[in-house]
Amino acid sequence: MESKLRRKVDQAFAKALPKVELHAHLSGSISKDTLHKIWTLKQAEGHCLDLDDPLMALREMPDIFTFFKIFDQYIYKLIDDKTALQLAVRSVIADFENDGVRYLELRTTPRQMAARGLDRRAYVETVLEAIGDRPTASGDGHTGIEVHLLLSIDRRMTFDEAAEVLDVAESFSYGSLWHQQHQQHPVVLGIDLCGNPMKGDVSVFTPLFLRAQRSGLRTTVHFAEVSESSTEKELTTILSWKPDRLGHVIHVSDHIKAMIQDQGVALELCLSCNMIAKMVKGEFADHHFGYWLRTTSAIALSTDDVGVFQSSLSNEYLIAAEHFDLDTQEIVSLSYRSIDAAFKGHDRMRSLLATFEEKYAQ
């Protein structure tokens, strides 16, 4: 008799699978329907009258060269106050939860909304409050979603701007005064380096990432996204920071691959994002996910910007199963590997996956 855990992966299995999402940008994860709802509210208030309906304005899929304009020219202009920000956060979390994600590390660049009275600190506090207002998952077997926050430094930032982001991250981290006063809310787990990979000099941020680690913050970095940012100098500089995780990891030499494995760095790999944005050549089966799958590295399939690329994490697992010939047992094993890459929640997620395995093995 064929084991249920040695069968073809279908949509129902992929959605029911308890999943870990580690590379999800808040602004890029907002669904078009939610953006439309926020736009409608703004229009009724007489705000954002220069913005077209997002259902029309954001129809075309971007490539790596047009991607960042979506945020600078549209999403950041629409999500420009506390109400819109909180609505966006709650909607994004609900969408991930409905897709079977049970552990989420959401990342965002703290923005200053001066016209609305929000500085970087107030921005982060608003996001944390929106996360904390939801029922929290714990280690008692609760099957809801557990959510944590990472703060992103944009490569276009000056050193002082990036230092301000780190200051904010530290002030909302474990053991901070804010944490002691708001223990019912989540905290900032770590920092990320993101932004247009063709901009900036990453070496500027070396002191900040080293300081973050000394402060107890975890670190993840967008890595080798385009050939222009994949010089030996840039990649070895980032690896010298001893980051916990790397995202994308596309244009890497055998030497860099060996360094990544020697350091035990975990990886966040985004299939649909890379294909749709034309960051990789060939078909899905040619994606470098196949290489890392054969290693012992901790890897986490991730969506990056599900609101933009329209591919849920369940769909990413379906794509992996289809193009890399993975059966249900291998997909469960892949989900276990993603737990190893997470910054928290390990015991709870392993318990959820074990329960899932028992159910599907019957």
Lowest mean pLDDT segment, chosen from 1-10, 125-134, 186-195: 1-10
- CATH code of the domain covering residue 167: 3.20.20.140
| Burial 205-222, CB ≥16 within 10 A → b, else e | beebbeebbebebbbbbb
Selected residue with higher pLDDT from 140 and 176:
176
pLDDT one-digit tens code per residue, 282-332: 999 999 999 999 999 999 999 999 999 999 999 999 999 999 999 999 999
DSSP three-state, residue 139: coil
CA distance to 28, 50, 197, per residue, from 43 (Å): 22, 10, 34
Question: What does the mean pLDDT of the chain come to?
Answer: 94
DSSP 180-245: HH-TTS--EEEEEEES-TTSS-GGGGHHHHHHHHHTT-EEEEEES-SGGG--HHHHHHHHHT--SE
d(CA 116, CA 51): 18
Domain count, the chain: 1
Beta bridge partners of 194: 154
pLDDT (0 to 100) of residue 140:
44
Q: What does the chain come to in residues?
A: 362
Contacts of 289 (CB under 8 A, 6+ apart): 269, 271, 299, 301, 320, 324
Kindly tell me if the per-residue pLDDT of 133 is higher than 90: no
Lowest mean pLDDT segment, chosen from 71-75, 181-185, 346-350: 181-185
H/E element holding 83? helix 82-98
Contacts of 262 (CB under 8 A, 6+ apart): none
Pair 190, 218: CB distance under 8 Å: yes
DSSP three-state, residue 329: helix
Give the closest residue to 89 by CA, choosing from 34, 39, 135.
Answer: 34
Give the percent of the chain with pLDDT over 90.
Answer: 88
Q: Would you call 2 a catalytic residue per the annotation?
A: no
Kindly tell me if the per-residue pLDDT of 120 is higher than 60: yes
Helices 313-323 + 328-341 axis angle, to 10: 130
Give the closest residue to 182 by CA, choosing from 125, 121, 138.
Answer: 125
**What is the average pLDDT across 178-184?**
86
Helices (H), 99-142: 120-132
pLDDT grade, residue 195 (50/70/90)? Answer: very high
- Strand 188-194 versus strand 146-154 pairing type: parallel
pLDDT (0 to 100) of residue 352:
97
Kindly tell me if the per-residue pLDDT of 146 is higher than 80: yes
pLDDT grade, residue 113 (50/70/90)? Answer: confident
pLDDT (0 to 100) of residue 218:
99
The domain containing residue 242 runs over which residues? 4-361
The catalytically annotated residue of 225, 234, 268, 357 is 225
Selected residue with higher pLDDT from 234 and 135:
234
pLDDT (0 to 100) of residue 143:
66
Kindly tell me if the per-residue pLDDT of 168 is higher than 90: yes
User: Per the confidence metrics, is the pTM higher than 0.75?
Assistant: yes
CA distance to 59, 161, 265, 273, 337, per residue, from 73 (Å): 14, 21, 34, 20, 37
H/E element holding 151? strand 146-154
Kindly tell me if the per-residue pLDDT of 191 is higher than 70: yes
pLDDT one-digit tens code per residue, 210-228: 999 999 999 999 999 999 9
Structure tokens at 132: 């904390």
pLDDT (0 to 100) of residue 117:
84
Selected residue with higher pLDDT from 258 and 359:
258
Kindly tell me if the per-residue pLDDT of 6 is higher than 90: no
Q: Of 62-66, 110-114, 137-141, 272-276, give the range with the top mean pLDDT.
A: 272-276
CA angle 11, 247, 107 (to 5 degrees): 80
d(CA 37, CA 284): 34
pLDDT (0 to 100) of residue 139:
42
Instruction: In the chain, count H helices and then E strands.
Output: 18, 8
pLDDT one-digit tens code per residue, 229-250: 999 999 999 999 999 999 999 9
